[in-house]
Amino acid sequence: MTDLAIRTSGLTKRFGAQIAVDDLALEVPRGAVFGFLGPNGSGKTTTIRMLLGLVRASAGEAEVLGAGIPHSLQRVLPRVGALVEGPAFAPFLTGTQNLMRFDAAARHTSASDRPRRVAAALERVGLTAAGGKRLRAYSLGMKQRLGIANALLAPRELLVLDEPTNGLDPQGTREVRSLIRSLAADGTTVFVSSHLLAEVEQVCTHVGVMSAGRLVASGTLDDLRRGDGSGRLTVQTPDIALAQRVLAEAGVLATDAGSATLVGVLRAGAPAPERLVAALVGADVRVQGFVVERTSLEDRFVELTGQGFDVVA
């Protein structure tokens, strides 16, 4: 068994002259909560559709749970739960009836155990009380949670969620976040496509960033957030000239200096903050304030993609 839940090599999808996904090499470790980031139109959903066999790649290879896609779909898909481009349910049926209908369509499920599975899925997403309501009475957030419940009707090794918090209020968002964490704690690999950096930062262990169809960064969340290790240093002291001299000797160059505040740039390989404080104090600099701001994930996202959020590439 491979230690990767998803692996692609040279994966490409063209729609006529337009390249939606370009030479994608992606690796998602088993057991990870992988955040697939990118502005709208960057190729995230097209990638997911290729991984699930919903569209055929123009070139390249993809493996899901160690098996080639699309050749091994029949063997792989029962082990994969997915919510892509929002749930599609019958509005005249109740939430429970919709899930019973979808479960009945699955090839590898037992009819005798169906009510228990549906009830457990509804409970896990917090919709037990709403199970008897017709879908037309559901809010968008409730429909989204019902879609996740549908993906959880059977035990899954991999859960693929495309914008899972779309339309959710803050409480619903927290519930989905908690659900993702609990699934990961049970050993499920969760692949979350999103453009909401705050959500990704709170729940994901690994991140991949797409821009204009290409993967521009991939790794652990800490590695991506760290970037090149640079940051911004602000020192408050009445001894500006002396502080500037001490920091320069440590390799930290000032970019701005006022009467009581010094701002510098921390480059990769700069001394740890506690060493800089020790050097300042050792040189009799009266340190009244010392703040280090590392590059945020949002800063890295904009740096990598060249654009903000909700931008169609």
pLDDT for 101 beyond 50: yes
Q: Beta-carbon neighbour count of residue 36 at 10 Å? A: 30
The residue with greater pLDDT, 73 or 197, is 73
pLDDT for 312 beyond 50: no
Which DSSP string do the residues of 95-123 spell out, in sequence order?
A: HHHHHHHHHHH-TT--GGGHHHHHHHHHH
Kind of pairing, strands 18-24 and 4-15? antiparallel
pLDDT for 307 beyond 50: yes
* DSSP β-bridge partners for residue 61: 9
User: For the chain, what's the residue count?
Assistant: 313
3-state secondary structure of 92: coil
pLDDT at residue 296 in the model: 66
pLDDT for 309 beyond 50: no
One-letter amino acid for residue 309 of the chain: F
Q: Which token pair is 270? A: 């700069």
Region of residue 147 (left: phi > 0; alpha: psi -120 to 50; beta: else): alpha
Kind of pairing, strands 189-194 and 206-211? unpaired
List, for residues 182-201, the tens digit of each pLDDT value. Answer: 888 888 999 999 877 777 88
pLDDT at residue 87 in the model: 66
- In the chain, what are the domain boundaries? 4-226, 231-294
The residue with greater pLDDT, 303 or 27, is 27
CA distance 86 to 163: 8
Out of 3-17, 143-157, 260-274, pick the least confident: 260-274
CB 202 within 8 A of CB 196: no
Give me the long-range contacts of 106-115 (CB less than 8 A, separation at least 24): 106/78, 106/153, 106/154, 107/78, 108/78, 108/154, 109/153, 109/154
Q: How far is CA 212 from CA 24, 46, 58, 88, 197, in A?
A: 11, 12, 17, 28, 18
pLDDT at residue 10 in the model: 96
The residue with greater pLDDT, 309 or 177, is 177
Q: How far is CA 117 from CA 80, 109, 174, 176, 217, in A?
A: 16, 10, 24, 19, 39
CB 48 within 8 A of CB 84: yes
CA distance 188 to 80: 10
Confidence grade of residue 86 (pLDDT, cut at 50, 70, 90):
low
**Do 4-226 and 231-294 agree at the fold level?**
no
What average pLDDT does the structure give for the chain? 87
Q: Which token pair is 46? A: 């097209």
pLDDT at residue 126 in the model: 85
Is 3.90.380.10 the CATH number for 4-226?
Answer: no
CATH number belonging to the domain at 231-294, selected among 3.30.70.100, 3.40.50.970, 3.60.15.10, 1.10.150.120: 3.30.70.100
Q: Please indicate, yes or no, whether the overall pTM of this predicted structure exceeds 0.85.
A: no
* DSSP β-bridge partners for residue 83: 161
pLDDT for 313 beyond 50: no
CB 5 within 8 A of CB 191: yes
List, for residues 215-256, the tens digit of each pLDDT value. Answer: 998 988 877 766 655 678 899 999 999 999 999 998 888 888
Nearest Cα neighbor of 215 from 31, 5, 33, 34 is 34
3-state secondary structure of 221: helix
CA distance 138 to 144: 10
pLDDT at residue 189 in the model: 96
